Structure 1
Amino acid sequence: MVGKSYGQFCGLARSLDVVGDRWSLLIVRELLLGPARFGELRAGLPTIATNLLTGRLKDLEAHGVIERRLAGDVNAIVYALTPWGQQLREPVSALIRWSTPLMAAGRHNDAFEPRWLLPALSALLADRRSTSPATVILLVDDTPIQVTIADDGPHVELLDEVPADNRAVLQTTPGIALALAAHAIAPEEASALDRDYPGAREAIRAVFAY
């Protein structure tokens, strides 16, 4: 059931009427990475109750933020953001940038999934441009994340494995990866290169330098 309204003629209040409930923006975060089945969303939000996830999905669908689609030849139902829902990318990115002081406190016992770094790194590096593309692979919890800065901005993606070619590979932690992207630390302060080749350090500076 769609929750109660704040009853205010204000854009912020009406936005919160739609996405202000607990878990709603985290569902949006998962779907900004691509369409997902119910079970995939449940796995990406490990502490949400199944009935609560069902309710939040129904509410977001009723508001026109998400939609259900048939995926592939197996006729599986996936959830996806509508074009209007996709417009939440920038507000979510702005919240990620705003959270930098909060993230500086450290991970503690919080859950973490490497894929959560994709929207975070994209948001924190949004203003980076390079006419000569530079690529760095961050190895976080044994998961390779490729970060490329090009003339149209950052491109961040998960890889299945570390490529065999000559690319800078930096083995690091989630906190260090975020600190690099937020310019809270200099590239020279990060963990040692896992694979050092001519030009690797220059690539890291091109991606993460102040």
Structure 2
Amino acid sequence: MDERGGYGQFCPVSMASEILCSRWTTLVVRELLCGCTRFNDLRRGVPRMSPALLSKRLKELERAQVITVLRKANGSVEYHLSEAGEELRSLNMGLGNWAQRWMESRLSLKNLDPSLLMWDMRRSLNAKLLPERRYTIQFLYPELPGAQKSWWLVVDGGTVDLCNFDPGHQLDLLVTSSLRTMTAIWMGLTTIKKESDCGQLEIDGNPTLASSMQQWLGLSAFAHEPRRVQ
């Protein structure tokens, strides 16, 4: 139970809220639903959450039997959703779809985070739409400082790696935009063509890769939800 204490009600909504409505918990569940099983990968999906709090929330979810913890002989630990945890998928998606429909675009784009955006893009990129060879794609956000400015996605053999340092491979594509523009594209609020046409996005490099970017990039799981507000 969260440090705030229980609600003291027998209503199932109340009981579920005692488990799921503590700070960060629904986002941790989101990362587990997206396939993250290791602590460091979970952290990349919630970069502003402290390791201590993440560990605490995982223990709470384990006690609530939402997750199971697999401790391997080599000392590594994996976190997996239980049957009860998997049933949270529709609830988690429902929250996201509701926000996509009803929250204003300006609010959606208020809290920009390059590491979270790139991590989402890394796991949603559709490598099957690219020819079978290694591709290195750099995303450049000129307005950001230092290590937040440049990110690389390396696609090789169907796997996608994310680097915030130059991996040293030949560059196939350079994508330059503001973080706000790329986040808006990712969320389905605009398109690559629209932002390119108005000069907010520049794509340099392999013409085939550039022209098909809207397809292989993939989008947020909520991007196709019709919006009711702008």
CA distance in 2, matches of 1:84, 1:23: 19
* Separation (CA, whole Å) in 2 of partners of 1:193 and 1:96: 30
Gaps of 5+ in 2: 141-149, 225-230
Instruction: Give me the TM-score of the superposition, normalised by structure 1.
Output: 0.61
Structure 2 residue aligned with 1:204 = 213
* Separation (CA, whole Å) in 2 of partners of 1:99 and 1:156: 31
**Whole-Å separation in 2 of the counterparts to 1:102 and 1:145:** 33
> In the alignment, is residue 195 of structure 1 matched against residue 195 of structure 2?
no
For the residue of structure 2 that corresponds to 1:113, the secondary structure is helix
- Residues 23-62 of structure 1 show CA distances to partners (whole Å, capped at 9, x for unaligned) of 211222333342123x665674444372x44432222112
Q: Which has the higher contact order (CA 8 A, sep 6+)?
A: 2
| Contact preservation (8 Å) 1:67, 1:80 | yes
For residue 60 of structure 1, give the secondary structure of its aligned residue in structure 2: helix
Matched, 1:176 2:181: yes
Q: C-alpha offsets along residues 42-101 of structure 1, whole Å, 9 cap, x if unaligned?
A: 674444372x44432222112211121124x52223333224323434433343344444
Partner of 2:85: 85
Contact 2:47–2:115 (CA<8 Å) still a contact in 1? no
Q: Against the structure 1 CA distance between its residues 34 and 13, is the aligned structure 2 distance closer, same or farther, given a 3 Å change threshold?
A: same
1:4-43 pair list within 5 angstroms:
4-5=6-7, 7-10=9-12, 12-31=13-32, 32-37=34-39, 41=42
Query: 1:64: which partner in 2?
Result: 65
Alpha-carbon distance change, 159 to 55 in structure 1, aligned in 2, over 3 angstroms: closer
Describe the SS at the equivalent of 1:74.
coil
Gaps of 5+ in 1: 126-132, 147-154
Length-normalised TM-score, structure 2:
0.57
Using a 3 Å threshold, how does the CA distance of structure 1 residues 200 and 79 change in structure 2: closer, same or farther? Answer: same
Q: 1:163 to 1:180 in 2, by over 3 A?
A: farther
Does the 8 A contact of 2:138 with 2:151 survive in 1?
Answer: no
8 A contact 2:70–2:79 mirrored in 1:
yes
2: CA distance between counterparts of 1:19 and 1:200?
Answer: 41
Count matched residues: 187
1:128 alignment partner in structure 2: none
CA distance in 1, matches of 2:129, 2:22: 39
SS in 2 for 1:21: coil
Matching of residues 37-52 of structure 1 within 5 Å? 37=39, 41=42, 44-48=46-50, 50=52, 52=53
Aligned alpha-carbon RMSD (Å):
4.3
Contact 2:118 2:151 in 1 (8 A): no
Question: Would you say 1:113 and 2:116 are equivalent positions?
Answer: yes
